[in-house]
Structure 1
Amino acid sequence: MSLTPRPAHGLGYTNPILDADWPDPDVTRVGEQYVLVASSFNRSPGLPVLVSDDFVHWSIASHALARIHPVEHFEFPRHGQGVWAPSIRFHDGLLRIYYPDPDRGIFVVTAPGPEGPWSEPIAVLEGLGLIDPCPLFDGEHVYLVHGWAASRSGRSNELTVVELDASGTRPVGMPRTVIDGDEVPGCSTLEGPKFYRRGEHYYVFAPAGGVATGWQLAFRSTSPWGPYESRIVLEQGETAVNGPHQGGWVTADDGSDWFVHFQDTGAFGRVVHLQPVSWNDGWPLMGEPREGLPGQPVAGMRRSSGSATKESASRDHHRFARPGAGVPTRSDDFAATSLAPQWHWQANPRPGQVTLRGDGALVLPLRSNDSGNLRTLPQVLSQQLPQSPTAVTTSLHLDSRVEGARAGLTVLGTEYAWIGLVVSDGSVHVTGGVGPGHRGDRAFVEPAPVASGAPVELRLRSTSDARVDVAWRQGDGEWTEAIMPFRAKQGTWIGAEIGLFSAAPYGAVDTGEAVFGAIDIRTDREGNVA
């Protein structure tokens, strides 16, 4: 199957193919289907598994972790902890995802297909600072390469290989450092390795130089234990695609080769790009070839005379399918009785944390745990903020008599803004704030009383440079816009997120509930969002 003739409208694709935060992607092929996994950090459920038939149109098939482990530890937001960069392979009839928790070790989960069911995690290697694992199933041998997190282990810029048993779940030999980045000219922060075999050569693809500023290296050897020689095979070059970082190589069933990788975009997190791969003298050539230089990222592919043609990322690409043309569904009419797969929590949810009645309403009970900082709340129901201009609308009814109880719509990162409803002086008011502050959020919407019992419509808009504005209205009236100079900020290792929340002050009882109507999330790549 060719990847480029099949996108919608007979066009090629434009990068990024996924224009929101899908960090540290890896990909494999099962028959004619491509399966992608991304890291999830503190998000629950974790390890999102995406599928596509053409590498352009993606949907979420499942999450490989229903809860983040250890479950009790992750019942509270553990920003930057949890599930770091995974890898995915299909071997012996099973999909296998290897993932690290840098504070615990390396784990594996398995399933017969991308929809699951997924096994419980099995600990493969225990230890602090073990990150970015990737297996290689090589005949009768199974090898695992991984990197190191200096923040936990004091080690970095090196890659280690250990042999595993036939099940891929236990080590059978001592680990060896096979690539020392300190011995590679100009190499720093070597991480995110992926392990492959092609013909007589073993390959490790790994980024170096930092998440936002680095490049992609290929290491080659005739033995999995080395010694390895190296080349830079992809760098920013003359494009706007900074630091093409870790990803995965996959071969289509027509024999063509492709490489997915992420680009760090700051507030919007790590968006996913797709590069063509060719081979010369046993070395991969990624992206747009350049004479005597590493490849640079392409803006996409277009069809020309029935075949695909590369385009430089520095050129105009209006002829292509727009970026992220086939992203997973974002809007939700709440017509189902269980959460749609685009949603996640900031921590493992408790029983009864959400109710979906199938009537177009999402009900969040007001949990008594509000310290005044939304980043501390596990019950923020979230999804990624798209990179393109976006408008989000929903409706909200707050049923509570508890002073200080609140609910609303937020864009959440290390800093956040929100608009919603709060109980003040015995009645419900619309208000909003930015935070976190020293003692609660800083209000930017002057509290205004709302008609009793009637829902309030809320709107949040963001621009391609992360500026955010919010507004509200009741009934068919005009939108009341809040004036606030706020830019979305990324979270800890993740991008900013759209969120729905409800909470009540500590110690409150009989807190009530917040009822949200259907949420509409629209993006506009021309820069005009109504």
Structure 2
Amino acid sequence: MSRTDVARLRVVTGEPATWADGGFANPVIAGMFPDPSVCRVGGDYYLACSSFEYFPGVPIFHSRDLVHWEQIGNVLDRPSQLSMPASMPSSGGVYAPTLRHHDGRFWLITTNVGAGNLLVTADDPAGPWSEPLPLPGVPGIDPDIAWDDEGRCWCTMAGIAQVRIDPATGETLGPMRRLWSGQPGAQAPEAPHLYHLGEYWYLLIAEGGTERGHAVSIARGPAPDGPFEPCPANPILSHRGTNRPIQNTGHADLVEGPDGSWWLVFLGVRPGGGTPGWHVLGRETFLAPVTWVDGWPVVGAADLTMAAPPWPPRPFPPSPVRDDFDDDLHPRWVSVRARPPWSWSLTDRPGWLTLHAAGTSMDSPDVTFVGRRQQDRSCTVRALVDATLGRGGLAVRLDEQHHYEIEVGHDEVRVLARVGSLRPTVATAPAPAPAGPVRLRVDVVVPPAADWHPRMEPDTLRLGVESADGAFVVLAELDGRYLSTEVAGGFTGRVIGMYAAAGTVRFDWFDYEPG
């Protein structure tokens, strides 16, 4: 496929990461997988994302075509690597990794907010990764790492500031200095990435804040520390002031394909509903083609539907949407801040996930919770729950102050809602619990486009009980806007999963079905 072919977009509708008629659909990694950083080794691509207050931290993916990504692990998957206290607020935690391959090893540098920047390495990106090397002389967030031809290691961070480091010891070498910080007056210069391409060093940054004004700009210079001249076409990517379905575009990373073509991975959101538009899935990972004109990258159209990369797709089989808890937990499963060994088990009752309560509700910063990111605008989640020894169920979480639950315990089923300073309330009259394990269900439903009005909700959540034959008894129908970033604030998206609020609660299986 020629570069001209790459620029041709096909107009179709569809969900993320599907090949049809030679094209694919954005986002390529749906759900709360923001701040993507990518590197290629031979014909393999690896990509890492921010994880914030969730443990394990820094999900890592593998692809052979930049479109079909499989999560192969989490970089910070041991308590010795990642410690997040209960006092750490939601949307704290792990920010903005940079993933690189250098000298036969994988390197990842990132921020654990409150604990500082750290560096880890691995021979295999699936793990295990090393214990973190602290970088006490590297301040701020969003660290980048790059090596020059003399083997010197340069660390650039939000601001935009730069210092040389010794990657073996974490020691800083020489003074820190400020670099080019984007367009005059643009807020929040961050997410720097440094590349040596031909005769120039390129400095790619995000600016404008991570909301609707988000953008990507670039500069180039003769050395890794500049001086840098800005691209005359900056920003090279931004959807601000447009009605395009992808918004908040920014925080990008460049990668070269095996045929010499270039691509940009970046974050964005898909707002829904009326005004101002609410995004509920968090910031997702998107892909766009790049061409080079007069030594500057030109980003092609970044839309929901795109032309195919110019090499044959080799998709991975889709991950199963059902977990029967017969083996180890898949890396997609995350917990809030920590997952103490005593809080969960797959062996207490073989074939079931057993959760032992810590906090007394989803309000608690140390709640026992095992969830996965919501990745589809519409979806159905089911679980078979045995709460004879406790109380718990299914929760849709944005943070401690914004969550909905369908809960079973004490011979009743009830729906709970927490919205901001409004404490948990029973959203519907309690219903008697059926005898034995209970099938709990949550449906997330997007309203038809024809129903649009200025205050239309982005989606509706229906919570209730399902019979063995699939009949769904809805106990409550709740407005989805209150579990959105525009209402709650912060940097995260929804995570749907299982929790225990008292005693011991067991889960035989968990189904996630895209709508």
Same fold, TM-score > 0.5, yes or no: yes
Structure 1 residue 482: Cα displacement: 2.2
Residue 329 (structure 2) aligned to one of 334, 339, 359: 339
Whole-Å separation in 1 of the counterparts to 2:418 and 2:226: 50
Amino acid at match of 1:221: G
Aligned counterpart in structure 1 of residue 299 of structure 2, from 266, 283, 286: 286
1:451 is displaced (CA, Å) by 3.5
Q: Which residue pairs with 2:366 in the alignment? A: 377
1:221 maps to 221
Contact 2:245 2:304 in 1 (8 A): no
Pairs within 5 Å for 1:258-337: 258-265=263-270, 266-288=279-301, 297-302=302-307, 329=319, 331-337=321-327
* Partner residue in 1 for 2:133: 122
| 1:181-200 equivalent positions in 2, closer than 5 A | 181=182, 184-200=183-199
Structure 1, residues 120-161: CA drift from partner, whole Å, max 9, x if none?
A: 000123465x1111111112233434334xxxxxxxxx3111
Rounded to whole Å, the distance in 1 between the matches of 2:138 and 2:164 is 16
* Pair 476,523 (structure 1): closer, same or farther in 2 beyond 3 Å: closer
The equivalent position to 1:234 in structure 2, one of 230, 234, 237, is: 237
Residues 301 and 489 of structure 1: CA distance in aligned 2, closer, same or farther (over 3 Å): closer
Does structure 2 conserve the Cα–Cα contact (< 8 Å) formed by 1:360 and 1:517?
Answer: yes
CA contact (8 A) 1:344 1:381 kept: yes
Report the CA distance shift for 1:277/1:127 in structure 2 as closer, same or farther (over 3 A). Answer: closer
Q: Where does structure 1 lack aligned partners over 5 or more consecutive residues? A: 149-157, 289-296, 309-320, 505-510, 525-530
Identify the range of structure 1 (432-441 vs 111-120) with the bigger mean alpha-carbon deviation: 432-441
Measured in 2, the distance between the counterparts of 1:275 and 1:439 equals 42
C-alpha change, 1:40 and 1:408, in structure 2 (3 Å) is same
Q: Deviations over 1:22-58 (max 9, x none)?
A: 0111000112111000011111010111111111211
Say which SS state the counterpart of residue 124 (structure 2) adopts. Answer: coil
C-alpha distance in structure 2 between counterparts of 1:486 and 1:327, whole Å? 34
Structure 2 CA distance for partners of 1:476 and 1:515, relative to 1, 3 Å:
same
Query: What CA deviation, in whole Å up to 9, does each residue of 1:303-350 have, x standing for no partner?
Result: 5xx969xxxxxxxxxxxx9xxx97973623324332111101002111
Q: Contact 1:133 / 1:144 at 8 angstroms: preserved in 2?
A: no
**What is the alpha-carbon distance in structure 2 between the residues aligned to residue 399 and residue 121 of structure 1?**
42
Counterparts in 2 of 1:392 and 1:77: CA distance versus 1, 3 Å: farther
| Cα distance change on mapping 1:460 and 1:37 into 2, 3 Å | same
Q: TM-score, normalised by structure 2?
A: 0.84
TM-score, normalised on structure 1?
0.81
**Partners of 2:464 and 2:476 within 8 A in 1:** no
Alignment-derived partner of residue 501 in structure 2: 503
What secondary structure does 1:188 align onto?
coil
Cα deviation for residue 261 of structure 1 reads 0.1
Q: Are residues 1:411 and 2:414 paired? A: no
Residue in structure 1 matched with residue 202 of structure 2 by the alignment:
203
Q: What is the aligned counterpart of 1:460 among 431, 437, 442?
A: 442
| TM-fit CA distance, 1:352 | 2.3
Aligned to 2:250: 245
8 Å contact from structure 1 (residues 278, 286) kept in 2 = yes
Deviations 1:103-122 (A, max 9, x none): 23221111002111100000
Percent same amino acid among aligned pairs?
26
The aligned counterpart of 1:313 is none
Are 1:19 and 2:9 matched, yes or no? no
Structure 2: tracts of 5 or more residues without a match = 7-16, 271-278, 447-457
- In structure 2, the CA distance between the partners of 1:268 and 1:466, relative to structure 1 (3 Å rule), is farther
Q: Deviations over 1:449-491 (max 9, x none)?
A: 2233x11111111134232111203444732112333213346
Query: Which of 377, 388, 399 is residue 388 of structure 2 equivalent to?
Result: 399
State yes or no: 1:134 paired with 2:158. no
Contact between 2:392 and 2:505, CA under 8 Å: does it hold in 1?
Answer: yes
Contact 1:85 1:132 in 2 (8 A): yes
> Which residue, 507, 512, 515 being the options, matches 2:506?
515
Q: Aligned partners of 1:273, 1:168: CA distance in 2, in Å? A: 35
Greater shift, 407-416 or 97-106, is seen at 97-106
Mapped partners of 2:445, 2:58: distance in 1:
28
**RMSD over aligned Cα atoms:** 2.9
C-alpha separation in 2, matches of 1:473 and 1:355: 26
Q: How many residues align?
A: 469
Report the CA distance shift for 1:161/1:366 in structure 2 as closer, same or farther (over 3 A). Answer: closer
CA deviations over 1:211-256 (Å, ceiling 9, x no partner) = 1222110111112222211131112175332231102111111111
Q: 1:472 aligns with which of 459, 465, 470?
A: 465
Shift in CA distance, 328/103, structure 1 to aligned 2, threshold 3 Å: farther
SS at match of 1:374: coil
Misfit runs of 4+, over 6 Å = 1-7, 325-328
C-alpha distance after superposition, 1:192-216 (max 9, x if no partner):
1111111111111111111122211
1:234 partner amino acid: L
For residues 375 and 287 of structure 1, the distance between their equivalents in structure 2, rounded to whole angstroms, comes to 45
SS in 2 for 1:352: helix
**CA shift for structure 1 position 8:** 4.8
- Aligned residue for 2:160? 159
**1:94 counterpart letter in structure 2:** R
The residue type equivalent to 1:192 in the other structure is: A
Q: Which of residues 99, 106, 121 is equivalent to 2:117? A: 106
